[in-house]
Chain A
Amino acid sequence: MSESIQDRVLRVIATSRRIPVESIRPDSTFEELGIDSLDRLNILFDLEGEFDIEINDEEAKQVTSLDQMVAGITQLVDAKKSASPES
């Protein structure tokens, strides 16, 4: 089975933060993970690359936890799939 969106998000964050992926819980908040504004930029950049999506600035500002991040990414990935059904 291929890697789930949640697993991919956790992997990207773990790589970006240089921490073991096991140390991140899916319900962690950015605050708990010590992710500040600049880390967020870095993670958003990496996620955009991982999923080949564009994350809107204003929407990104509302996201404060991994749950919300996974939900947001899932939405964007679904929107992308329905926009290009052939892929």
Chain B
Amino acid sequence: MTRVVITGVGVVSALGLDRLEFARALESGHCGIRPIAAIDTAQLKFNMAAEVQGYKPEEQFLAKDLAFMDRFAQFALTAANEAVVQAGVEWTTDLKEQSAIVTGCCMGGRGAEEAGYWELFHNNRTRVHPFTIPLSMSNAGASHISMRYGIQGPAYTVSTACSSSAHAIGQAFWMVRSGVVPLAIAGGSEAPLFLGGLKAWEAMRVISKDTCRPFSADRTGLVLGEGGAMLVLEPLDSALARGARPLAEIVGFGMSSDAVHITQPSPEGAARAMRGALRDAGLAVEQIGYINAHGTATEANDKTETAAIRAVFGDYADKLAVSSTKSMHGHALGAAGALEAVASVFALRSGVLPPTVNFTAADPACDLDVIPNVARKQAVEACLSNSFAFGGLNAVLAFKAYV
């Protein structure tokens, strides 16, 4: 079977504007959660988020292009640009014609929609901006990447809430592995920091008022984040043939649906997705040294995920290192799986496992080695990255160190 490697990654997040800043922050256990600056939070019962700092759209894009791009689409293209440069892709006519783009996105450009509807509802405007649809459509990120590079193969967007970009990367991986496409750009982006969206999350009563403390006994819920992450996937042979340097190998993808409840997670569904990824990868549980957990820091997720990990790994679960990097980059919804895939690739490559920061007190219901607060120097052979969405739709990716 074709081996598939990652040859480039790009990241925009609350931890920095590129992959190096992201990697440095993960290793130093830096938390990107701060009071929200993007909007006035007077109408909110919380004011913390993992917001991208110091990002200047006009430095990344021409004004004429920016008019067509909501913040979430900008994050998608910015991350893709960085990933393509690192991969050193040479765009031949054939490669452009056949390559794939799969993006994940949950809320899409609803921020742009909200701005238009606000005028309609409050200011007696009779029209909304003609770009409202192209700005807000969730596939805008994929389309802008396609247009930027002239990539004409399969391109689409997956929307499975918090699993979106893990599903996107998994789909792209399978397309490359099966030989359907010679290369894929896959990942996700999200820009959910607008009033209506934040109020909707507030109403779910799952947002923390202080910070994100995954697996900690005193956890108080998730903290939303924004950003984007993209990966370049290609067959190992063609990557080596053109002199590219593989960062890690992507070896497995598992999906499942809980088929239980629209918001309550089920350990069985999560476990099935993890088993699926291991089976797809041909990996034994003992080969997994690290799991980048979904770890949202909600009451329900963290204990359900712990139970699912124990169900899959048995006694070996006590030897596993597990962390939630959402404690640092926040829960970036449709970008979460991609940010965490990149964090997983970095962990394999550097031999430094990122911590779960803001951890204060052990919870018996989350009795895993969660790498509390400080990164750990530990080389691992392979790892999983878990994503479990509202709606019970689960996606788990398996990566292996490339040596």
Q: Using a CB–CB distance below 8 Å, which chain A residues touch chain B? A: 36-38, 41, 44-45, 54, 57-58, 60
> Is A38's CB under 8 angstroms from B205's CB?
no
B122: interface (CB < 8 Å): no
Report how far A38 CA is from B390 CA in the complex, Å: 12
Q: Which of B45, B203, B221, B263 contacts A37 (CB 8 A)?
A: B263
Query: Could you list 6 A-B pairs, sorted by A, with CB under 8 Å?
Result: A37-B300, A38-B261, A38-B262, A41-B204, A44-B205, A60-B205
Given A36-B264, A58-B220, output 9 extra A-B contacts at Cβ < 8 Å.
Answer: A36-B261, A38-B261, A38-B262, A38-B263, A38-B264, A41-B204, A45-B203, A57-B205, A60-B205
Q: Which B-chain residue is minimally distant from A45 (CB atoms)?
A: B203
Report how far A36 CA is from B265 CA in the complex, Å: 12
The B236-276 residues at the A interface (CB cut-off 8 A) are 261-264
> Is A41's CB under 8 angstroms from B264's CB?
no
- A62: min CB distance to chain B, Å: 13
> Is A41's CB under 8 angstroms from B203's CB?
yes
> Is B205's CB under 8 angstroms from A41's CB?
yes
A residues less than 8 Å from B203 (CB atoms): 41, 45
Interface string of B193-214 (1 = CB under 8 A from A): 0000000000111000000000
Q: Which B-chain residue is minimally distant from A44 (CB atoms)?
A: B205
Q: Using a CB–CB distance below 8 Å, which chain B residues touch chain A? A: 45, 203-205, 220-221, 261-264, 300
- A36: min CB distance to chain B, Å: 7
Q: Which A-chain residue is minimally distant from B221 (CB atoms)?
A: A57
Report how far A37 CA is from B220 CA in the complex, Å: 16
- B338: min CB distance to chain A, Å: 28
The 3 closest A-B pairs by CB, nearest first: A57-B205, A38-B263, A37-B264
Report how far A54 CA is from B263 CA in the complex, Å: 23
A residues less than 8 Å from B204 (CB atoms): 41
Report how far A45 CA is from B220 CA in the complex, Å: 20
B residues less than 8 Å from A58 (CB atoms): 220
A54, A57, A58, most chain B CB atoms within 10 A: A57
B residues less than 8 Å from A57 (CB atoms): 205, 221
Report how far A60 CA is from B299 CA in the complex, Å: 14
B residues less than 8 Å from A37 (CB atoms): 263-264, 300
B residues less than 8 Å from A54 (CB atoms): 45
Report how far A58 CA is from B220 CA in the complex, Å: 9
Report how far A44 CA is from B261 CA in the complex, Å: 19
A residues less than 8 Å from B300 (CB atoms): 37
Report how far A36 CA is from B300 CA in the complex, Å: 13
B residues less than 8 Å from A45 (CB atoms): 203
Report how far A36 CA is from B262 CA in the complex, Å: 11
Q: Which B-chain residue is minimally distant from A55 (CB atoms)?
A: B205
- B307: min CB distance to chain A, Å: 17
- B57: min CB distance to chain A, Å: 35
A residues less than 8 Å from B261 (CB atoms): 36, 38
A residues less than 8 Å from B263 (CB atoms): 37-38
A residues less than 8 Å from B220 (CB atoms): 58
Q: Which B-chain residue is minimally distant from A54 (CB atoms)?
A: B45
A residues less than 8 Å from B45 (CB atoms): 54
Q: Which A-chain residue is minimally distant from B264 (CB atoms)?
A: A37
B residues less than 8 Å from A44 (CB atoms): 205
Report how far A45 CA is from B200 CA in the complex, Å: 12
Q: Which A-chain residue is minimally distant from B207 (CB atoms)?
A: A57
A36, A37, A38, A44, most chain B CB atoms within 10 A: A37
- B66: min CB distance to chain A, Å: 38
Report how far A22 CA is from B205 CA in the complex, Å: 29
- A76: min CB distance to chain B, Å: 15
A residues less than 8 Å from B221 (CB atoms): 57
A residues less than 8 Å from B205 (CB atoms): 41, 44, 57, 60
Q: Which A-chain residue is minimally distant from B206 (CB atoms)?
A: A57
A residues less than 8 Å from B264 (CB atoms): 36-38
Report how far A38 CA is from B300 CA in the complex, Å: 12
Report how far A57 CA is from B263 CA in the complex, Å: 17
- B191: min CB distance to chain A, Å: 25
Report how far A37 CA is from B205 CA in the complex, Å: 10
B205, B261, B300, most chain A CB atoms within 10 A: B205
Report how far A36 CA is from B220 CA in the complex, Å: 19
Report how far A8 CA is from B86 CA in the complex, Å: 63
- A23: min CB distance to chain B, Å: 23
A38, A44, A45, A60, most chain B CB atoms within 10 A: A38
- B207: min CB distance to chain A, Å: 9
Q: Which A-chain residue is minimally distant from B299 (CB atoms)?
A: A61
